[in-house]
Amino acid sequence: MHEIFLEIARDPIGYLQSWAKGSTRELALTFSGLFPLELLDAMGFHGVWLPPVLRNRYNRADTMLQVFMCSRARSFVDVVAGSELPVAAIGAVTDCDAKDVIPGVLHAGGCETPVVTLRMPIRVDTPAAVDFAVNGVRHWVAEAEHAFNRRLDPDLLAGACALRLRTRQRLSEMFQKLGTEVDPVFAYSAAVSAQVMEPEAFLHALDAAPWPKPDHKRRMIPVLMSGSELPNIKIIEDLAGLGALIVLDDTETGTRAASRPVQHPGCQDAETPPPPDLDGLLEAIGAGIVYKKHGPTKVSPAGNRIQGIVSAALDRGVQAAVLGLFKFCDPHAFEAPALIEQLKMAGIHSIVVETDKETGLLARERTRLQTLLEIVE
């Protein structure tokens, strides 16, 4: 039953193409873990946070975008512009420069799929930012109802909130046990699958069998995986092959997106959601986006992020850190030197793995990583 996760993680487009053939629901995409998929679900779509689909060429995106845009963003534009999926709607969200310009680029490039942007604050440290985020969600709903020509159903929203929250909670539980009780390849495959599968199907598959455990018979080095989104599952498989055991995650694919709360009674029980409270739910969704665990695109209370990572790394006995960066991802590239320095001061060596094309670890990076692991060992 769990095999499906690895299949999806390896080929999310293939999975979604098959899904679309057998479903009456239409597909709505987003490109960010900040975007609340429950909003799309509640409009009758199947909301999908499309994982990066790295390729060796981005032929369609390259007609609209320069190569110095991160491959995460280029891959999204490539999939949408190439009509590889029957996409009925796109929910965008403001975050970094690359993500901010995607809607405009799609529009200027002639994309006919309606795109509505959820405008979120960059600050996540003030009550005004929470108010702004709540307002942003309400505004998005009003705009999306018009642009997508659909109503957001309050009954569906309550159920979708509960299911999506349950999914994130289960992922959080899983990442808490990463490397100790849960195999990292399984955990990341499941996390990617949660982005593309319908939540009911995902939860059913997740609990269909015990979670695979890491191979404790092998001597492996405990490592931290940090970065934005996971470029592809091959990297995790390669790391495992080299003897690196991921015991701590700091990625949007893993713990960060999963940490988004929705503090509302309507979300606590997926089985029996209480009567709908649209306004309260939207407020809780907006506030949750601010309260979630963020990456370096946000202005949060000074120093908290890096200190938090280092402290968690020490608690988990991390001996080496892998900073997985998309080439041209500015927020993480800005943060990397300080993170490396702080980890080093804590006795943890780091390696930056920069990804652009469709590969796992390149030979050069494999060698560097092997060297690092040997030094640590």
Partner 1 sequence: MATPGKRLKRLIAGQMLASRGLKTLGRPVAWVTSGAPVEPLLALGVIPFYPENHSAICAAKGMGAPLCQQAESMRYSRDLCSYFRVDLGSQVTGQSPFGVIPAPDLVVASNNICGTVQNWFRIIAQRHGVPFLFVDTPYSDNPPTRAEVEYVQTQLQELTQKVAGLTGRKFKESDLVRVEKNSLEALKLWAEILHFGAEKPAYFTSFDAFVYMYPIVTLRGTRWAVWFYKKLLQDIKDRRRHGQQSVPGERARVVWDNIAMWPVHKGLRKFFMQHNIALVTDTYTDAWRSDHLDPAKPFESMALSYTDIILNHGPMFRVNKLIAMVRDFKADGFILHSNRSCKRWSLGAYAVKKMVTKATGVPGLVIDGDMADPRAVSLDNIKHRLEPFFEMLTDE
3-class DSSP state of 4: helix
Cα 183 off chain centre by: 19
Neighbours of 4 (CB within 10 A): 17
104 binds partner 1 (CB under 8 A): yes
β-strands 349-355, 87-93 pairing: unpaired
Q: Which two tokens mark 109?
A: 């490039």
Backbone angles phi, psi at 196, to 5 degrees: -110, -25
Smallest distance from the beta carbon of 141 to partner 1, in angstroms? 14
DSSP sequence for 326-342? ETT-HHHHHHHHHHHHH
User: Binding string to partner 1 for residues 252 to 291, with x set by CB under 8 A, is what?
Assistant: ----------------------------------------
Applying CB under 8 A, among 6, 16, 89, 129 the residue interacting with partner 1 is 129
Q: In the block, which residue shows the tokens 């779509």?
A: 45
| Span near partner 1 by CB under 8 A; candidates 7-15, 125-133, 190-198, 369-377 | 125-133
User: Binding string to partner 1 for residues 148 to 187, with x set by CB under 8 A, is what?
Assistant: ----------------------------------------
> For residues 68 and 345, which CB has a smaller minimum distance to partner 1 in the complex?
68
Smallest distance from the beta carbon of 26 to partner 1, in angstroms? 24
Please report the beta strands in 156-288, taking only residues with DSSP state E, as ranges in sequence order. Answer: 221-227, 244-250
299 binds partner 1 (CB under 8 A): yes
Rounded to whole angstroms, the Cα distance separating 207 from 201 reads 10
CA atoms within 13 A on the CB side of 229: 26
147 binds partner 1 (CB under 8 A): no
Rounded to whole angstroms, the Cα distance separating 196 from 192 reads 7
CA angle, 172 then 37 then 171, to 5°: 10
Applying CB under 8 A, among 11, 13, 44, 132 the residue interacting with partner 1 is 132
| Whether 176 contacts 249, CB under 8 Å | no
CA angle, 77 then 186 then 256, to 5°: 55
105 binds partner 1 (CB under 8 A): yes
User: Binding string to partner 1 for residues 15 to 54, with x set by CB under 8 A, is what?
Assistant: ----------------------------------------
> For residues 22 and 68, which CB has a smaller minimum distance to partner 1 in the complex?
68
Smallest distance from the beta carbon of 226 to partner 1, in angstroms? 15
Helix, strand counts (H, E) of the chain: 15, 8
107 binds partner 1 (CB under 8 A): yes
Applying CB under 8 A, among 11, 84, 131, 358 the residue interacting with partner 1 is 131
User: Binding string to partner 1 for residues 305 to 344, with x set by CB under 8 A, is what?
Assistant: ----------------------xx-xx-xxxxxx-x----
> For residues 105 and 220, which CB has a smaller minimum distance to partner 1 in the complex?
105
Q: Which two tokens mark 267?
A: 């979300």
Applying CB under 8 A, among 209, 302, 345, 363 the residue interacting with partner 1 is 302
Cross-strand partners of 57: none
Residues 71-100 that bind partner 1 (CB under 8 A): 94, 96-98, 100
Size of the site for partner 1 (CB under 8 A): 47
> For residues 218 and 364, which CB has a smaller minimum distance to partner 1 in the complex?
364
Cross-strand partners of 89: 28
Please report the beta strands in the chain, taking only residues with DSSP state E, as ranges in sequence order. Answer: 26-30, 45-49, 87-93, 115-118, 221-227, 244-250, 320-326, 349-355
| Whether 258 contacts 171, CB under 8 Å | yes
Binding site for partner 1 (CB under 8 A): 63-66, 68-69, 94, 96-98, 100-101, 103-105, 107-110, 117, 119-123, 126, 128-129, 131-132, 135, 139, 296-297, 299, 302, 327-328, 330-331, 333-338, 340
